[in-house]
Structure 1
Amino acid sequence: MGVKVFDFRLKNALQTEKIWYNNLTNIVKDGRLCMQELLDSFVFYMAGARESSQNTVVSYKRDILKYIEYLRENGIFKISQTDRMTVVTYLLQMKKSGKAPATVSRSLAAIRAFYSYVIASGEKIKDPTANIIAPPADKKQPGFLTAQETERLLSEPNITETKGIRDKAMLELLYATGIKVSEIIELTMDDINLKQGFLRCRTATHERVVPVGKAAVSAVKQYLDKARPRLVFDDGIKYLFLNRSGTKMSRQGFWKILKGYGKSAGIKKAITPYAIRHSFAMHLLQNGADLEAIRQLLGHNEISSTQVYSKIMDARLKEVYEKAHPRA
């Protein structure tokens, strides 16, 4: 059975990388597509032709593996044996097991992309995910720190030590720019310009320039002068922030560092990189920045993603008014 080229980008990839063709043709066995090998090929396609982020690839693979495990537990070993009811039943089981709507929605997106790949690769089935609507996500307000809590957090690292100097630079930069943890750990030495006061965030499809404030510039400069040289074991490594092994800082490592400082600062709220990002946005809004400027700084594609901060502000103002006004 031949494998169809289903995407212009994939076609170009097939022309330039023979491994693509070998990988796709080898997944065909006994006239059907082997689910596990097809998943491996799909993951390869996501990372290559689609240039999806590492986080997306990892989460999609994990979600589809769980779906395949569910199919096998129910005696389904061929992708052609699945239908709409199969997918709906799986999603309902996720919901009954207590999975959050956002988790169910993400799983549906992964499964839908997987089936799209299956069909385009030559399997003669109808898309069982067609017209399945994702459950509405819980509308939780993003958590953020007050200005006082932020100051306490940023003051926690011990800047007389190499680790503290590095951590101070990371925290100051995170709060000064509002970038994501996945973006800060991917920064290279070429991405930050201390003299001009800006950094460049790049993904597979987007690039944006974000200004860096004086406090963060000073902290990063101290890190580059006094701490990073002590962490470098390989002069060829270009990542800005390094761990004690001299390699790129991991997401898990950064989260652990941040959580530790939140605890030592006595902050009772959940301290996550997203809490710092939300704090960045809220503090800008509270001090007069407009939503469009904040949208661009955060890298949001749609203004609706940024408007949540304005709604929080409106709710807080209403609460203050009702508590303080004598005739409220």
Structure 2
Amino acid sequence: MSYRNDLIQFASFLQKQQISSFNNVKRQTVIDFMQQETTQKKATSSIVRSVTSLRKFFQYLMEEERILQDPMQLIDAPKRKEHLPEVLSTKEVEKLLNSPDTEKKLGLRNRAILEVMYATGLRVSEIVNLQLANLHLSMGLIQTLGKGSKERIVPIGDQAIKWVERYLQTARPELLGRQRSSYLFLNNHGHQLTRQGIWKNLKAEVKKAGINKNVTPHTLRHSFATHILENGADLRIVQELLGHADIATTQIYTHLSKKRLADIYQRYHPRA
């Protein structure tokens, strides 16, 4: 349907330009059409799709020998805007970490989860699958299985260790009751906590902290990577910590750091 609509809009444009044959469509014709789409404030993704539709259409006309020359050969689609992930500032992270009521067992559990997520950059799936045997707290390390069941060892800081130990000493035994479980983080019934459970609890803590951002479990992973890069970590180290197979995946955080630095400059430099 989108393909059809793109061609209808292009045909309407040609009619206004009094171009009655596809043989008369030139490169400049297509550029003018794209310019019209931009002027009408169409989304970049929509313009990219239109160019793709036209490219396929003119390839078809060439194959059917209905036109002599393909006007799309020298046309480049506009680059899609890069959507950088949302991150929290260090102050927002502090507010979020301090949000759970640690006098209550679930609050203490939530504090331990948030501390581990921010200290390690683990994915939410890795957090829910953490088992007691994966903890090597005396060495300051956590063992995890990432995508493709690829094992990695990540360091965990003193603050996160402190809250995990407090959780293990008091909250977890209360949640577990008489049951047995090898999983680190448990729900109120003593069972393995789910991804949805972490998501729900995080939303509640974000609201309590008064943070007006769309914070997801992945936001803490993004914040972890961005903050350690801003403090001088090597990109290869960040790749290893995040468990990225390809460093190209990690490079988005360099763009993010540069954008944040630019924002800080614009905000605080007196002559920016």
What TM bracket, shorter-length normalisation? 0.5 to 0.7
Residue pair 2:179, 2:190 contacting (<8 A) in 1 also: no
Find the partner of 2:119 among 170, 173, 176.
176
Other-structure match for 2:235: 291
Q: How does 1:164-203 map to 2 (within 5 A)?
A: 164-203=107-146
Within the alignment, does 1:313 sit opposite 2:262 as a pair?
A: no
Within the alignment, does 1:239 sit opposite 2:183 as a pair?
A: yes
1:244-283 CA distances to partner (integer Å, 9 max, x unpaired)?
0111101111000000000110000111111100000111
Other-structure match for 2:89: 146
SS at match of 2:99: coil
- What residue ranges of structure 1 are gaps of 5+ in the alignment? 1-88, 94-100, 102-135
Letter in 2 for 1:255: W
Other-structure match for 2:205: 261
The Cα of 1:233 is off from its aligned counterpart by 3.8
1:29-58 CA distances to partner (integer Å, 9 max, x unpaired)?
xxxxxxxxxxxxxxxxxxxxxxxxxxxxxx
Counterparts in 2 of 1:176 and 1:320: CA distance versus 1, 3 Å: closer
Other-structure match for 1:53: none
Letter in 1 for 2:110: D
Letter in 2 for 1:283: H
Greater RCO structure (CA 8 Å; 6+ sep) = 2
| Structure 1 runs (4+) greater than 6 angstroms displaced | none
Return the alpha-carbon distance in structure 1 between the equivalents of residues 3 and 135 of structure 2.
46
TM, length-normalised to structure 2: 0.68
Return the alpha-carbon distance in structure 1 between the equivalents of residues 81 and 193 of structure 2.
31
Taking every aligned residue pair, what percent have the same amino acid on both sides?
41
- What residue ranges of structure 2 are gaps of 5+ in the alignment? 5-44, 46-78
Counterparts in 2 of 1:202 and 1:234: CA distance versus 1, 3 Å: farther
The Cα of 1:319 is off from its aligned counterpart by 4.3
The Cα of 1:193 is off from its aligned counterpart by 1.2
The Cα of 1:139 is off from its aligned counterpart by 2.5
Other-structure match for 1:250: 194
1:180-202 CA distances to partner (integer Å, 9 max, x unpaired)?
10000000110111111111111
Counterparts in 2 of 1:185 and 1:320: CA distance versus 1, 3 Å: closer
Return the alpha-carbon distance in structure 1 between the equivalents of residues 191 and 3 of structure 2.
42
1:190-222 CA distances to partner (integer Å, 9 max, x unpaired)?
011111111111145300000010000000000
Other-structure match for 1:212: 156
Letter in 2 for 1:169: A
Other-structure match for 2:68: none
The Cα of 1:316 is off from its aligned counterpart by 3.1
Return the alpha-carbon distance in structure 1 between the equivalents of residues 214 and 266 of structure 2.
28
Which has the larger Rg? Answer: 2
Other-structure match for 1:163: 106
1:85-128 CA distances to partner (integer Å, 9 max, x unpaired)?
xxxx7x969xxxxxxx8xxxxxxxxxxxxxxxxxxxxxxxxxxx
The Cα of 1:150 is off from its aligned counterpart by 0.2
SS at match of 1:195: helix
Counterparts in 2 of 1:139 and 1:165: CA distance versus 1, 3 Å: same
Q: How does 1:1-328 map to 2 (within 5 A)?
A: 139-203=82-146, 204-233=148-177, 235-321=179-265, 324=269, 326=271
Other-structure match for 1:52: none
Return the alpha-carbon distance in structure 2 between the equivalents of residues 209 and 276 of structure 1.
19
Letter in 2 for 1:231: L
SS at match of 1:241: coil
Letter in 1 for 2:166: Q
Return the alpha-carbon distance in structure 1 between the equivalents of residues 255 and 118 of structure 2.
21
Return the alpha-carbon distance in structure 1 between the equivalents of residues 251 and 156 of structure 2.
23
TM, length-normalised to structure 1: 0.56
